[in-house]
Amino acid sequence: MTMHSAKTNPGRFFEDFYPGLSLPHATPRTVTQGDVALTTAFYGARHALFASTPFAKACGLAAAPVDPLLVFHIVFGKSVPDISLNAIANLGYAEGRFLAPVAVGDTLTATSDVLGVKETSNGKSGVVYVRTTGRNQRGEAVLAYARWVLVRKRDPASPAPTDSAPNLAACVAASDLVLPKGLNLTGYDFGLGGSIAAFEDYSVGERIDHVDGMVVEEAEAQMATRLYQNTAKVHFNQFERASDPTGRRLVYGGVVISTARALSFNGLENAGLWLGVNGGRHVNPFFAGATLFAWSEVLDAQRLPGRTDVGALRLRLVATKDRPCTDFPDKDAQGFYPPEIVLDLDYWAAVPSRG
């Protein structure tokens, strides 16, 4: 007799989430030099702080931290099997903060706590709000962020839960940003950094066309997504995607973010140290083979309490596909995005100050 196993993870449905539910995720993950090299190979970012041990030490750190977005992608990847396996869409991010630097040799684990749930009006699905926290091997939080996801109901007939959608901040307050312990940018080497531009040189309202364009190949997108142990099937299962109207695998949104961020080096050379993510939306799908372009806008510039060596810039990063950003393509007055815009992200970065 053949037994069919029920061991395969079917993923949670909307009914399985409730406020207060805490979901520790599987697969602790030691970050290695290999992850760092692959990050460079996937995106080509050139921020000196993550590329050079002596440079990082000259900035007061014990070791070169790994790119904050690598930490984000690994932590996010862990949450997929428990949160978004039956997700219809990833709706947004908020209240993201990088709380401690991660170095090669550190081991990351992650837990998601359900903040609230809200059934959609058609009764077939609902929005689940979670806060995901990544921790190192000492249990210290290194990253926390909220996200909300549209999840299928197992049974459309099941009753709607009480609406418990949380109020999430539109922007992380500059005073809540956390600088890496020991960071001291007093003697920051702008030459090695790649630009003379300091915190003082950026003005609120300033827009920067990052000029360069970069293709994301299917193999690159898949390898990056696997490196993050992100299992969402839309990125890998072409057989199934063939019956989607697009007929294509989707590039993981994190790959789009990291590619756009690497392009943003050209004009934001010294702003690699992300401190927070205020919000972000993948406003159109991105498919492999297209050329990604990006532009940035300075939304805010804040001194940090007690610091003269470093300030925080609030930046908006917009990425387009097959569309140069010379004229800063943007949403229209009604808030609608043209199809060539794929990303609209709002974040905080630390930038060295001349004091």
Nearer to a copy of itself, 119 or 296 (CB): 296
**Intra-chain end-to-end CA distance of the chain, in Å:** 76
The answer to whether 40 and 67 have CB atoms below 8 angstroms apart is: no
Q: Tell which one of 14, 145, 148, 293 touches a copy of itself (CB under 8 A).
A: 293
Neighbours of 144 (CB within 10 A): 19
Contact string (CB under 8 A) for a copy of itself, positions 4-23, x = contact: xx-xxx--------------
Which of residues 284 and 291 has its CB atom nearest to a copy of itself in the complex? Answer: 291
Least distance (Å) between residue 319 CB and a copy of itself: 13
Binding segment for a copy of itself (CB under 8 A), chosen from 116-124, 126-134, 188-196, 311-319, is 188-196
DSSP single-letter state for residue 11 = -
Q: How far apart are CA 319 and CA 254, in angstroms?
A: 12
> Min. distance of Cβ 10 from a copy of itself in angstroms?
8
146: amino acid identity, one letter? A
Q: Which is nearer to a copy of itself, 120 or 231 (CB)?
A: 231
Binding residues for a copy of itself restricted to 195-254, rule: CB under 8 A: 195, 197, 201, 203, 205-215, 217-220, 222-227, 229, 231, 233, 236-240, 249
Which element (helix H / strand E) includes 70? helix 68-83
Q: Which of 62, 88, 169, 192 binds a copy of itself (CB under 8 A)?
A: 192
Residue (110 or 128) nearer to a copy of itself, CB? 110
d(CA 141, CA 143): 6
Residue 132: closest CA among 285, 314, 277: 277
Q: How far is the CB of 354 from a copy of itself (least distance, A)?
A: 15
State which of positions 45-104 bind a copy of itself (CB under 8 A). Answer: 46-48, 51-55, 64, 81, 104
340 three-class SS: coil
Residues 125 to 144 in contact with a copy of itself, rule: CB under 8 A: 137
**Residues in 326-355 that interact with a copy of itself by CB under 8 A:** 328
- Cβ atoms of residues 250 and 84 within 8 Å: no
Q: Which is nearer to a copy of itself, 171 or 211 (CB)?
A: 211
Torsional class of 346: left (φ above 0), alpha (ψ -120 to 50), beta (otherwise): beta
- Picking from 320, 129, 298, the residue whose alpha carbon sits closest to that of residue 203 is 298
* Amino acid code (one letter) for 275: L
Q: For the CB of residue 72, give the shortest distance to a copy of itself in the complex, in Å.
A: 17
